[in-house]
Amino acid sequence: MNDEEFLRTVLNDLEPPQSQVDSLLRLRDNIRSCIFEHIGGEKSMFMAGSFKKDTMIRQHYDLDMFIIWTSEFMPLKDLFYEVKRALLNFKWKRLEKKRVGWRIPYENEFHVDVIPSVQDTHESEYSYLYNCFRKKRLKTSMQKHIEEIEKYDRRDVIKLLKLWKFRREVPIKTFLLEIITHLACYNVTRDSLSIQLKTIFEYILNNIVNKEFYDPANRDNIISEDLTRSEKYEIRDKVYKALNCIYWGQIFENIG
């Protein structure tokens, strides 16, 4: 089995079972009912993340639920914490505060992220999120993030990178991995997973420490700012180890 055949075999084993996906979708519906029944205002739900982008892997996946209010009937910060109260009052007692939302742990490595947002009155495809760590709002577009995935069509290699991130405990967000993949693989063939992976790893090695990476929907959002200096060096070190492996199996072992 050559490198490409091995990587295709790994890729084919990443699909999550439908039973787990169905369970998460039922959880999504329960969360939606909770939010819609307990918080007023005109609102809608938008699914994003790996589920919407079709980059889920069975070893580690989640659902990103964006609850979008069409008008700011309460300050965004207050709305952020009102969502927490609604979830706690319903039945979810284990919540984790994340940068722009609330995480509900589910089973093993699976979870649902609930992200409250307010639609921009001038650009309907954009929304404002509340960054609770920096205590400020940020503007972005989930729809544009999905369009980026569609435009560059690198889902297969992104799934492999997510497996590497999970197996090697690499402290990098999937969203940043997607951005880096699109930058590194511009004009690179899609026919070879091996070439794409090597190109991406080399790009990370040379750029992760000093380069700034931006949200493709809004350059005011510097995604790489969420990484500490030590995390950047850890990512670089793990990429260096990956590039020095003799064969891909040393990176993607223990796929059970």
pTM of the model: 0.92
pLDDT of residue 256: 42
> Where in the chain are the domains?
3-14+146-250, 18-141
DSSP per position, 157-199: HHHHHHHHHHHTT----HHHHHHHHHHHTTT--SS-HHHHHHH
User: Do 104 and 54 touch, CB atoms closer than 8 A?
Assistant: no
pLDDT per residue over 121-147, tens digit each? Answer: 999 999 999 999 999 999 999 999 999
Q: Domain 18-141, what fold?
A: Beta Polymerase; domain 2 (3.30.460)
User: Do 182 and 148 touch, CB atoms closer than 8 A?
Assistant: yes
pLDDT per residue over 61-106, tens digit each? Answer: 788 999 999 877 889 999 999 999 999 988 787 899 999 999 998 7
pLDDT per residue over 179-225, tens digit each? Answer: 999 999 999 999 999 999 999 999 999 999 999 999 999 999 999 99
Strand segments, DSSP code E, in the chain are: 43-48, 62-69, 96-97, 102-105, 111-119, 127-131, 136-140, 214-215, 218-222
Q: 10 Å Cβ neighbour count for 50?
A: 22
pLDDT of residue 109: 66
Q: Which of 235, 188, 190 is nearest to 210 (CA)?
A: 235
CATH of 3-14+146-250, one of 1.10.1410.40, 2.40.50.140, 1.10.540.10, 3.40.640.10: 1.10.1410.40
Q: 10 Å Cβ neighbour count for 172?
A: 22
- How far apart (Å, rounded) are the C-alpha atoms in residues 35 and 43? 10
Contact residues for 219 (Cβ-Cβ < 8 A; gap 6+):
none
